[in-house]
Amino acid sequence: MPEELPPKSNAESLTRTQILMAMGLTAVVLLLAARLWLLLDPSARLLPVTGSKSALLWGVSLGVGITLASSIAYRVWESYRQSADYYLALVIKPLALPDLIWLGLLPGMSEELLFRGVMLPAIGLNWFGLVVSSLCFGVLHFSGSQQWSYVIWATIIGGVLGYSAIATGNLLVPIVAHITTNLISSCIWKLERQLEH
């Protein structure tokens, strides 16, 4: 019996402008959530962002590593491949290549600020904080009941990014890794689809 494909979504008909506006709005909401958390929780503190060549190098290296791991998972894990294609088609298909810069920057900065910058230190820079913040990050990527494998993958990546924040004590590392991963992955996916047509 053939595996069922994900149901069609109204979001598939969104325009480039609607996708860009949704990305911008989501980034603003996540940034506001991080700011409110810092305001309402007197014990909350932001993980430091320290600019250095080593932090940039660690972030880019981690981002490339995540992209390679994602590529392997994409090839060997059919459910993940279907979920990733569904999610990426929803978000990337309407976008032009230059728009992918925003796809790298907006989620890379806003999601890292909330999940690794504020949530992780507030819960604890330990295994419990890492697990909780990673699960919340995974749930953020939920786009339908048949997309569970994408949520699992996002949770794992959230764990990797969170561990990099704990290990380095520098939020710049996961920010750069997240931006690098989004940019490379989305460009590869977009270019491959353009070559198919």
- Please state the domain count of the chain: 1
Identify the pLDDT of residue 6.
Answer: 46
Element containing residue 9 per DSSP (H, E) = none
Segment 89-129, tens digit of pLDDT: 888 999 999 999 999 999 999 999 999 999 999 999 999 99
Identify the pLDDT of residue 14.
Answer: 85
Identify the pLDDT of residue 64.
Answer: 98
Rounded CA-CA distance 61/57 in Å is: 6
List Cα–Cα distances, 53 to 57, 101, 137, in angstroms: 6, 21, 27
Residue 49 in domain:
no
Residue 85 in domain:
yes
| Predicted TM-score (pTM) of this structure | 0.91
Structural domain including 99 reads 58-196
The amino acid sitting at 156 is: I
Phi and psi at residue 84, to the nearest 5°: -65, -45
Residue 46 in domain:
no
Identify the pLDDT of residue 9.
Answer: 46
| DSSP string over 15-47 | -HHHHHHHHHHHHHHHHHHHHHHHHH-TT--PP
Identify the pLDDT of residue 12.
Answer: 53
Please report how many Cα atoms fall inside a 13 Å half-sphere around the Cα of residue 170, on the Cβ side. Answer: 15
Segment 30-40, tens digit of pLDDT: 999 999 999 99
Regions of the chain with pLDDT less than 70: 1-12
Residue 18 in domain:
no
Identify the pLDDT of residue 11.
Answer: 46
